[in-house]
Amino acid sequence: RDNKEYVALVQHMLSTPGFYFSYTYDLTHTQQRIHYLAENNNLHSPLHERADDRFVWNQHVLRDFAVQPELRRFTLPILHGCIRLQFYFRVCDCLVRFAM
C-alpha cells in the first residue's frame, strides 16, 4: 500500500508543469558561467556534480545516488520553475516587446 501511495505521489508531482532537464546541457548555469567552466576544464565532471544546487529540485536524492558507484549513471538534475522568453524589436519606429 505504501509503495502505491508513493508512486501516485511521484506521478502527481511529475505531471505538474515546469519540470526541466537535459541529458547533456547544464541548465543550472548561465552561458557565461558554462564558458568559464570550460576554460578551467571543469566540464568533464558529471552534470550532477557541477550543477548549481540552488536550482536542482532533486538535489537531496542525487546526493544519495552519487555516493553509490553503481547508481551514479541514474543521476540527472531536474529543475522546477518557469522559463520566460522576452525580446524587443522595432516595427515602423515603434518598439515592440514580445514575451512568452
pLDDT tens column, 22-65:
888 888 888 888 888 888 776 778 888 888 989 999 998 888 88
Side-chain-side CA neighbours of residue 60 (13 Å): 1
**Residue 46 identity (one-letter amino acid):** P
- pLDDT of residue 20 exceeding 70, the answer is yes
Q: What is the pTM of this model?
A: 0.64
Q: What is the Cα Rg of the chain in Å? A: 18
pLDDT computed for residue 100 by the predictor: 62
CA-nearest of 48, 100, 58 to 79 is 58
Question: Which sign does the torsion angle of CA 13, 72, 45, 67 carry?
Answer: positive
